[in-house]
Amino acid sequence: MPEEKKPKEFVPGSVGTVKVFGVPVRLHFTFILLLIFLLFIGIGGRQSGASTAIYVLALFASVLLHEVGHTLVAKRYGIRTIEIVMFPIGGVSRPERQPKAREELWIALAGPTVNLLIAIGLLAWVAASQGFVALEKLREPTDANLAERIAFGNLLLWIFNLLPAYPMDGGRILRSILALWRPEEEATRIAAGAGQILAILMGLAGLLMGNFMLVFVALFVYLGAFQEGAAAKGRIFTAGFPVRAGMITDFRTLRHGDSIRDAGNLLLATSQHDFPVMHGDSVIGLLTRSALVRAMLTQGPDTYVSSAMDRNFKRVSPDVPLSQAAALVSDPGGCALVIDDEGKLLGMLTSENLSEFVLLRQAGMAK
């Protein structure tokens, strides 16, 4: 496994942290904008402001409970959830490791099952207490049909998430079933392709109907499916290779006594963006381009690089499978230092050179 000791990084653009069953729950800024938008368009009409707020918060809670369902089942398989991030199209649980096919089947089913149980429970309560409101009256929000609308909202979440296309739960279920007979990466690629096709159809339908919310959802689905498909392709073409096969071996380093001015000159003179900082033969830190620029602006060019470097940099062994280490540099501009068991710096692994490695492998296999 990659020798990463620092805590996992949170998804960029997510804010706030509230723990549920010990799992950090964070809100993506686009989800916050969606909540404000829903509250704004819901004010007025025959529904009170309090009911509007309850309806929006109830749907938020339903999505959160959906993700908690994933988390609890994953925990039974010994898979820790790093965080839950709430996006406009739903929540995303980030597991510490990729579940096996049989594990993912039950983990993926858990979320939609929670929404189905919520809907059944609410409809049963409404039937027993006051009777159902006619379906045609549910189109106009009122205080009287609040419970039914929350129930039908959960039914829609159940149906939407079971669509057999990645990144919805239905796509994960499809991938887990395909993975019983096919290689995992190939199963992921098929599910991601189905997700992209579905997103395109959703986007076209949204444009034809003038439903821009559907277009918005389609965009998120397409991006999620595209990213997972690209990640699956990367795992396919890096399989069987160690980190040393894809690392950068021609690189420049800085000394702990060098200044930010020295680092800036090196940045301009080379195509390198990140610089290992050495003390003798030992690596003591990593100076990234963003940290260099920030230090130049706030501390001045004569500041030592040791005051601006990252001491908790990502590191990986040269013999770790490249497909596993790719997670360390999955973000744009990601960088990990390749260090052997004796603490010797052997190379650097970056998102850019990993992408180039995949492209060269793909071209070689095409021949």
Same domain, 92 and 211: yes
- Active site residues per annotation: 67
Q: Domain containing 274 — which CATH number?
A: 3.10.580.10
Single pTM value for the model: 0.64
First-to-final CA distance of the chain: 32
Residue 263: the pLDDT is 93
Same-domain check for residues 248 and 232: no
**Residue 234 and residue 249 in one domain:** no
Same domain, 303 and 225: no
Please tell me whether residues 219 and 247 are part of one structural domain: no
Same domain, 115 and 34: yes
Q: Could you tell me if 218 and 322 lie in one domain?
A: no
Domain that holds residue 40: 14-238
Q: Which residue has the tokens 């040791």?
A: 306
Query: Do residues 139 and 229 share a domain?
Result: yes
Q: Cβ neighbours of residue 28 under 8 Å, at least 6 residues apart? A: 11, 13, 14, 15, 85, 86, 87, 88
One-letter amino acid at 284 equals I
CA–CA distances in Å: residue 236 to residues 101, 141, 362 = 17, 49, 10
From first to last of its 367 residues, the chain has per-residue pLDDT tens of 333 333 345 555 555 677 777 787 877 766 667 666 666 655 555 667 677 778 878 888 888 899 899 999 999 999 888 888 877 666 777 787 778 878 889 999 999 999 999 999 998 988 888 766 666 666 666 777 788 888 988 998 898 888 887 778 888 898 888 888 887 777 888 888 888 888 899 889 989 988 887 787 788 788 877 877 777 777 777 878 899 998 999 999 999 889 999 999 999 999 899 999 999 889 999 999 999 999 999 999 999 998 999 999 999 999 988 887 887 787 767 899 999 988 899 999 998 888 888 888 877 644 4
> How many structural domains comprise the chain?
2
Of 238, 266, 288, at which residue does a domain stop?
238
Q: What is the pLDDT of residue 367?
A: 40
* Same domain, yes or no: 281 and 233: no
Instruction: Provide the pLDDT for residue 43.
Output: 54
Kindly state whether residues 21 and 133 are assigned to the same domain.
Answer: yes
pLDDT given for residue 69 in this prediction: 92
Q: Does some domain include residue 123?
A: yes
Which of 221, 238, 255 marks a domain boundary?
A: 238
108 domain residue, yes or no: yes
Q: At 94, phi and psi to the nearest 5?
A: -105, 105
Q: Which of 247, 268, 252 is nearest to 329 (CA)?
A: 247
Q: Is residue 215 part of a domain?
A: yes
**Measured distance CA(277)–CA(285) in Å, rounded:** 5
* Residue pair 147/122 in contact by the 8 Å Cβ criterion: yes
Claim to verify: residue 90 and residue 199 sit in the same structural domain: yes
